[in-house]
C-alpha cells in the first residue's frame, strides 16, 4: 500500500510506515515482530525478563522471515539486561527500544555499534536528557497505555516532548487506529507506537482468553493498580484488580502488595488466568474488535489515517 505518511521516522528506521509495534513482554516474540516489519512497520521483540538463549532464537526467527528492519526492546530492570545488550550488539540488531528506566549507561555502546536507540519516556525532562546523550528518537508514552504508566496523558506529553527535542518523537498510549495516527502527527509526533492493538494480532504469543478479554472490554474497563508503589500499571478490571485495589486503599501494605502482584501478568498472558492474573491493556481496548493478522492491522491503520486526513483537510476553516 502506498502511503502519504512518509515521515522522518521512516527514513531513520528504514520502514515504510511510521508505525512501531509495542514491546509487550513475553508475548511480543519473533513471530509478531517479523509480521509487523514485513507489513511495513517496525516489529519489536519484547524481551521482558527473557534470557540470551531465548532472544537468540527470536532474532533468528525474524531474520528467517523478513529482510526488513526490526527492533529489540531492552527491559532495563531485567536481571539479564547486560547479556541482552551484548547480544544485540553482536547480532547487529538495527534498532533498540528501551523501557523500565533510564538507558543512559548503554547509549554509547549501542550507538557505537551502529544501533538506533529509541527510549520510552514519560516526561519532558527525561526526553531532553536522553536526546542530549544521543538517543535517535524519543517514544513519548502517556498514561493511557497498558502496563507500566506515568502520570501525564499522551495529549499533553507528546507536544511538550516535541517542543523539547530535535529528534523524531513517537507518540504512544491511547492509539489504536488511523484517527490516533493523525492526532499524533498534529501534536508534533513523527510516528506512533501501538501495544494493545497488536496484542490481538494472530501472531502474538498470548493466550486466546487474554485476547478475548481485550475484545470484550468497554471504555471504562481499565484501572491503574500500584499507585502507592514505584511501578503502577494499567490493566483490565477483574477479580484480582478488585482485591488489589481494596488492599491498596486500606493503607500501608506495600510489601504485601508487591507479593500479591508478583507473577500475575504471565498467569494471564501465558496461562490464560484472566480473572486471577493481570491483563495489561491500554484504555483503547474498547476500540479493539477482533483478532486479525498483523499485516491487516497495519494496512487498516494506514488506510484509515489517509481517510481521516482527507476528511480533516476538507473541513472549511475561517481565519
Give the domains, in start order, of the chain with CATH numbers: 8-205+290-313 (3.20.20.70), 208-283 (no CATH)
Pairing mode of beta strands 222-225, 233-236: antiparallel
Instruction: Please report, in tens digits, the pLDDT of each residue of the chain (319 residues total).
Output: 555 678 999 999 999 999 999 999 989 999 999 999 999 999 999 999 999 999 999 999 999 999 999 999 999 999 999 999 999 999 999 999 999 889 999 999 999 999 999 999 999 999 999 999 999 999 999 999 999 999 999 999 999 999 999 999 999 999 999 999 999 999 999 999 999 999 999 999 999 999 999 999 999 999 999 998 878 999 999 999 999 999 999 987 888 898 999 999 999 999 999 999 999 999 999 999 999 999 999 999 999 999 999 999 888 877 7
Provide the mean pLDDT of the chain: 95
CA 200 to CA 161: how far, in whole Å?
29
Contact 128, 164 (CB under 8 A): yes
Tens of pLDDT along 280-296? 999 999 999 999 999 99
Tens of pLDDT along 240-292? 999 999 999 998 788 889 899 999 999 999 999 999 999 999 999 999 999 99
Query: By three-state DSSP, how is residue 215 classified?
Result: helix
Contact 70, 94 (CB under 8 A): yes
In DSSP terms, 96 is beta-bridged to 72, 117
Confidence (pTM)? 0.96
Amino acid at each position: 500500500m502506498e502511503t502519504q505518511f512518509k515521515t522522518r521516522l521512516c527514513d531513520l528506521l528504514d520502514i515504510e510506515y511510521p508505525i512501531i509495534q509495542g514491546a509487550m513482554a513475553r508475548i511480543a516474540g519473533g513471530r509478531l515482530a517479523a509480521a509487523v516489519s514485513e507489513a511495513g512497520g517496525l516489529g519489536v521483540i519484547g524481551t521482558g525478563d527473557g534470557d540470551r538463549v531465548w532472544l537468540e532464537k527470536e532474532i533468528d526467527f525474524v531474520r528467517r522471515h523478513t529482510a526488513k528492519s526490526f527492533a529489540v526492546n531492552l527491559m532495563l530492570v531485567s536481571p539479564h539486561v547486560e547479556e541482552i545488550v551484548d547480544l544485540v550488539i553482536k547480532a547487529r540488531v538495527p534498532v533498540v527500544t528501551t523501557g523500565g528506566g533510564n538507558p543512559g549507561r548503554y547509549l554509547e555502546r549501542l550507538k557505537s555499534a551502529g544501533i538506533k536507540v529509541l527510549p520510552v519516556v514519560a516526561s519532558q525532562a527525561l526526553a531532553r536528557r536522553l536526546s542530549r546523550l544521543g538517543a535517535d528518537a524519543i517514544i513519548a508514552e502517556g498514561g493511557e497505555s497498558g502496563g507500566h504508566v506515568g502520570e501525564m496523558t499522551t495529549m499533553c506529553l507528546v507536544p511538550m516532548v516535541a517542543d523539547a527535542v530535535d529528534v523524531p518523537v513517537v507518540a504512544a498510549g491511547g492509539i489504536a487506529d488511523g484517527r490516533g495516527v493523525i492526532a499524533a502527527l498534529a501534536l508534533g509526533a513523527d510516528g506512533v507506537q501501538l501495544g494493545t492493538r497488536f496484542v490481538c494480532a494472530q501472531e502474538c504469543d498470548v493466550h486466546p482468553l487474554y485476547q478475548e478479554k481485550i475484545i470484550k472490554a468497554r471504555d471504562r474497563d481499565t484501572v491503574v493498580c500500584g499507585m502507592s508503589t514505584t511501578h503502577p500499571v494499567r490493566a483490565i478490571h477483574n477479580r484480582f484488580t478488585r482485591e488489589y485495589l481494596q488492599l491498596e486503599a486500606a493503607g500501608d501494605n506495600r510489601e504485601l502488595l508487591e507479593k500479591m502482584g508478583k507473577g500475575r501478568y504471565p498467569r494471564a498472558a501465558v496461562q490464560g488466568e484472566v480473572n486471577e492474573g493481570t491483563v495489561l491493556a491500554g484504555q483503547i481496548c474498547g476500540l479493539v474488535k477482533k483478532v486479525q493478522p498483523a499485516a491487516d492491522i497495519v494496512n487498516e491503520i494506514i488506510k484509515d489515517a489517509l481517510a481521516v486526513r482527507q476528511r480533516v483537510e476538507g473541513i472549511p476553516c475561517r481565519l
